Amino acid sequence: MELWFTEKHTEHVKFSIQVDRQLYSSQSEFQRIDIFSSKEFGRFLTLDGYMMLTQKDEFIYHEMMVHVPMAVHPKVRKVLVIGGGDGGTARELIRYPAIEQIDVVEIDEEVVSACRTHLPQTACGFDDERVRLYYEDGLKYVRRYEDAYDLILVDSTDPFGPGEGLFTKEFYGNCYKALKADGIMVNQHESPFYPNDAVAMQRAHKRIVDSFPISKVYQAHIPTYPSGHWLFGFASKRYHPLADQDADRWKALGIQTRYYNEQLHKGAFALPNYVEEMLEKVEG
């Protein structure tokens, strides 16, 4: 008998992975959490049936979310991660000795406990004394802070269900306020490829452009996300992602990466024409 996980990417497109075993399944207060094991992608986490990460390709997403802003901002000490309950973003952050504090605000405690049990590859990010976990809605958490963080990483689910509030103008405005005068916010920016995803991506981009003086978009190839073409938003009060990239400083840290490198940092901001057009349309 064959067992398959299938995610609908559009009304007419499905993406399937053959499953060896279901390791975990639970309906939490916020969402359905499943963890499977598979031959091709190793273990993988889905929330409400949507792919969050696989052991095989999560390094791409987490490296691109963390190392791009870390190679730009010269002095990151305090970081806020919104979402990120699998621990992968925290795992990349703890590789920087100069970071003093990493606050992870995850709405769903059950995601963290399931990942601690079944996905130690990412959950190991929580095993560092600089990481503090808060089980709270990121939208509410960020409202309370002003001039507090050097870097905010929005490692959220998609713009529906519990993640919906993390794509609002109010949220981006509060992130702006919670950042220091030279702070940077990076968010997962959805995909430009399928029309429904592209609309969500444009909506988020418009709101970020309205909230930050510098707002750029970069890309990565993530095989298990819809279309495999994924975007990240780089929103900043002072630093430009290319003009202020300090490749020598970053290289001197000696951080071994499998995806990110200094050349790719530059190339990731060179977007296809159709994506540039979509962004320009909402930039006004």
Residues acting as catalytic residues: 155
Contact (Cβ atoms closer than 8 angstroms) between residue 242 and residue 271 = no
The binder of ligand SAM chosen from 54, 156, 202, 245 (CB under 6 A): 156
- Whose tokens are 């409202």? That residue is 143
Contact between 157 and ligand SAM (CB under 6 A)? yes
Eight-state DSSP code of residue 29: S
Contact between 106 and ligand SAM (CB under 6 A)? yes
Residue 139 Cα to chain centre, angstroms: 16
* Single-letter amino acid code for the residue at 200: A
Contact between 165 and ligand SAM (CB under 6 A)? yes
Pick left, alpha or beta for residue 47 (phi over 0 → left; psi -120 to 50 → alpha; otherwise beta).
beta
Window of 4-12, 123-131, 151-159, 276-284 that interacts with ligand SAM by CB under 6 A: 151-159
21-60 positions binding ligand SAM, by CB under 6 A? 47, 52-53
Contact between 139 and ligand SAM (CB under 6 A)? yes
Contact between 122 and ligand SAM (CB under 6 A)? no
Closest listed residue to residue 155, CA positions, set 232, 244, 101, 269: 232
Contact between 174 and ligand SAM (CB under 6 A)? no
User: Could you tell me the smallest distance in angstroms from the CB atom of residue 164 to ligand SAM?
Assistant: 8
The binder of ligand SAM chosen from 69, 85, 226, 241 (CB under 6 A): 85
CA distance 145 to 177: 7
What interhelical angle do 195-211 and 273-283 show, nearest 10? 50
Site for ligand SAM, rule CB under 6 A: 47, 52-53, 61, 82-86, 105-108, 111, 137-139, 155-157, 162-163, 165-166, 188
